[in-house]
Chain A
């Protein structure tokens, strides 16, 4: 499990990359990726390019991120989902809460 993140030069955007399975075992790492930032970003990107599978605990974690980022006002993009991952996100109607690319 590897979660990495990058922050844009001006600190306004953070991108979180998730490799392999996205489930509860990456919970702490995932939180660290957005909680321990010097400056609160205004935009979040979750890059699921390397994510093979996810379960409902991962969905819970995405919602935690959303609430941390301002709930209704949160600007979060979920990008590079595989077909499988996208299917789970859509079943849960997450396209209503996130911008899913």
Chain B
């Protein structure tokens, strides 16, 4: 019992004495024995008891051992039920016959107890091994099935996220193929509140799941920002920052992003690491849009470059973007398709409407029986007049695209010391997508005007103090002291924001409770390079369109203006 547990063993022999001897030997080994007198009985017992090992006499009445063996093997199915033939036959042919019928071994009469014991042990080992294998196979196939099921569900989610937006608009065509369930390529398109359409084609390093994972944050960032009207630089920066922080080194995203301005018939293109896209002009000319940046997710935000190129288009001009799947498609000789063949297809094309199909067909014919070894993606976007664009996202209205608001804010004496209004106000201003890119300038403008109003106006401090290093320190010590004592005064801050698709302006008025100053005498003064102070207003003048003082000089109004270049 140490090495072989108690087994169920079926013994079938029509000779009573032989059967009894065998039963006794087997039982003595500690096994359960089921005895049958012929093949039919053996099968009946097998069905009922499912023994582990079967000992079969070859020649029996009713049904002989050979047929019984076949049926038992059939009934056993996947399970390994070793069958050992008991035979007095010695000729080669009969022994071969035993094995052909499904027997695993034979035992010659008269029985040798030691050999029988060894064979049972050996076959039991084989049975265990077989069972382990079957169990593992079943587990494996269950795992596989579950994985496929999960991937199918995940793919639906992925496709909803990664290939969505306004890709079904009337002026867009696209093709995506993938090597695995998941595609390493991502295509997203959205319409901005100003009616521009923003499209991004990305190709993550690698294929399948690892490559697809990065597409999720990319797509959610893209859609989150495009619909709110953020500019292409903002969206690119944000995606780059996000990918840089989540992707391991070596995984990044080559991408081309294009902002389509249908009103001005102009596109703004940023290409980081993808093969050059092509502008296919109606007159047959081709303008390549080459990569001039590193892919997304490589550089830290500080070093990231978002400068883009502008191209003027005519209605009917077509813009093609693709991942490297087309360029690197190989034919059966292992040759790559390459850009030259692509340009050749354009040269041979006769009607620009069919260029998209001809390129796909051209690549397909080239690959022939060769193997596709990269994800293959292609998009075509046609420059249209805004009124000919058909997609719910394009319900664009000049009137709606206009944004105007005003805000008044007053800082009271009790707040001067404890409350710094600058971060708060800057947060409100940079909620406007148009202003977001100017946060640095806006901060400086606000900071200069507010500290002038507070320090020179409300507190009555003179900037002359700051002429020496000691005075500089003294100035701020005095500022601290006066802030602790102040009980009267105010700073009023007023904003008027106005923007349209073309650009906009922010008017900022600040009034303080101070005596004002002789602003006439500072007019025309150039920005001083030396001196520890007195350059604040000079900087504001450089950043703003206009700076005007009113009344006693305790009121200032500045206008910050911008032009939307996309």
For the complex, is B205 an interface residue (Cβ under 8 Å from A)?
no
For the complex, is B444 an interface residue (Cβ under 8 Å from A)?
yes
For the complex, is B539 an interface residue (Cβ under 8 Å from A)?
yes
- Whole-angstrom distance between the alpha carbons of A28 and B469 in the complex? 12
Contact of B532 among A64, A85, A87, A94 (CB under 8 A): A64
CB-CB under 8 A from B531, the residues of chain A are 63
**Nearest opposing residue in chain B for A84, CB measure:** B440
B251-277 interface mask toward A, CB cutoff 8 Å, 1 = contact, 0 = none? 000000000000000000000000000
For the complex, is A19 an interface residue (Cβ under 8 Å from B)?
no
Q: A27-B476, A53-B444, A60-B532 are in contact. Are A84 and B302 (CB under 8 A)?
A: no
Contact of B451 among A57, A67, A80, A88 (CB under 8 A): A57
Q: Do residues A85 and B440 form an inter-chain contact, with CB atoms below 8 A?
A: yes
**Nearest opposing residue in chain A for B426, CB measure:** A53
**Nearest opposing residue in chain A for B542, CB measure:** A91
CB-CB under 8 A from A63, the residues of chain B are 530-532
Q: A49-B302, A64-B472 are in contact. Are A92 and B443 (CB under 8 A)?
A: no
Task: Classify chain B's interface size.
Answer: 20 to 34
- Whole-angstrom distance between the alpha carbons of A91 and B441 in the complex? 11
Q: Do residues A84 and B535 form an inter-chain contact, with CB atoms below 8 A?
A: no
Q: Do residues B440 and A55 form an inter-chain contact, with CB atoms below 8 A?
A: no
Interface residues of B in 446-496 (CB under 8 A from A): 447-448, 451, 466, 469, 472-473, 476, 479
Interface residues of A in 16-75 (CB under 8 A from B): 21, 23-24, 27-28, 31, 49, 52-57, 59-61, 63-64, 67-68
Q: Do residues A24 and B440 form an inter-chain contact, with CB atoms below 8 A?
A: no
Q: Do residues A60 and B533 form an inter-chain contact, with CB atoms below 8 A?
A: yes
CB-CB under 8 A from A97, the residues of chain B are 529-530
28 A-B residue contacts at CB 8 Å?
A23-B447, A24-B476, A24-B479, A27-B472, A27-B473, A55-B444, A55-B448, A55-B536, A56-B447, A56-B539, A57-B451, A60-B466, A63-B531, A64-B469, A64-B472, A64-B532, A68-B469, A83-B440, A84-B440, A87-B440, A88-B444, A88-B539, A91-B527, A91-B539, A92-B539, A93-B529, A97-B529, A97-B530
B residues apposed to A, CB below 8 Å: 302, 439-441, 443-444, 447-448, 451, 466, 469, 472-473, 476, 479, 527, 529-533, 535-536, 538-539, 542-543
Known: A24-B451, A57-B451. 5 other contacts (CB 8 A): A28-B473, A31-B473, A63-B530, A64-B532, A94-B529
